[in-house]
Amino acid sequence: MPKGEGKLVAQNKKARHDYTITDTMEAGIVLQGTEIKSIRNSRINLKDGFARIRNGEAFLYNVHISPYEQGNIFNHDPVRTRKLLLHKKQIARLSEELKNTGTTLVPLKVYLKDGYAKVLIGIAKGKHQYDKRESLKRKDVDRQISRTLKNYSR
C-alpha cells in the first residue's frame, strides 16, 4: 500500500485490466446514514463504477454499497450518485485531463484513512483487445521469470 493509505476495503482489479491508468488522485466520499458501516464491513463493489465532473463538482456513479443489515428506515439506495470531495484545483486539473478523447475517471480502491472512507480515482485511457493480450503475456512472462529465479536460488 502507498504511504499514508489506511485499511484497504475494496479494489477494482478489472479497471487495471481494461484501462491504462495515467494518474491517480485521492478523494473523500460524501456518505449518507449507514453507508460507512457497510463500507467498514467491506460491502462495496467498484466493478462498474466511474466518476464525472458536473458543474465544477466530481460525482461517483454506479458504485454499489450494500444496505447495512442492522439498519432499518435509515438504509440508503445502494447505487445512488455520491459526491467526491476534491479541491477546486484538483477538479480543474481532472476536467482538463478529461477533455482528451478516450479518457475517463475510474475508482481503483476504497480504503479507510483516519476513520474516513477515501477513494483512489484514476485517469484512465481504454485499452484495445490486443493491448490486453499483450499485458497478460507480459505478466505471465514475469511470473515465469520470478519462478525460475526462485528455483535457482535454492
Convert the pLDDT of each residue in 97-153 to its tens digit. Answer: 998 878 999 999 999 999 899 999 999 998 877 777 888 888 889 999 988 888 887
Cβ within 8 Å of residue 21, ≥6 positions away: 15, 106, 108, 122, 123, 124
The pLDDT score that the predictor gives to residue 101 is: 79
pTM across the whole model:
0.80
> Is it the case that residue 154 has pLDDT exceeding 70?
no
pLDDT digits (tens, 9 = 90+) for 56-95: 999 999 999 999 888 777 678 889 999 999 999 999 999 9
* Domain positions in the chain: 7-127
Q: 7-127 in CATH: which number?
A: 2.40.280.10
Give just the sign of the alpha carbon dihedral 105, 32, 56, 8. Answer: negative
Cβ within 8 Å of residue 78, ≥6 positions away: 64, 65, 66, 67
The pLDDT score that the predictor gives to residue 124 is: 92
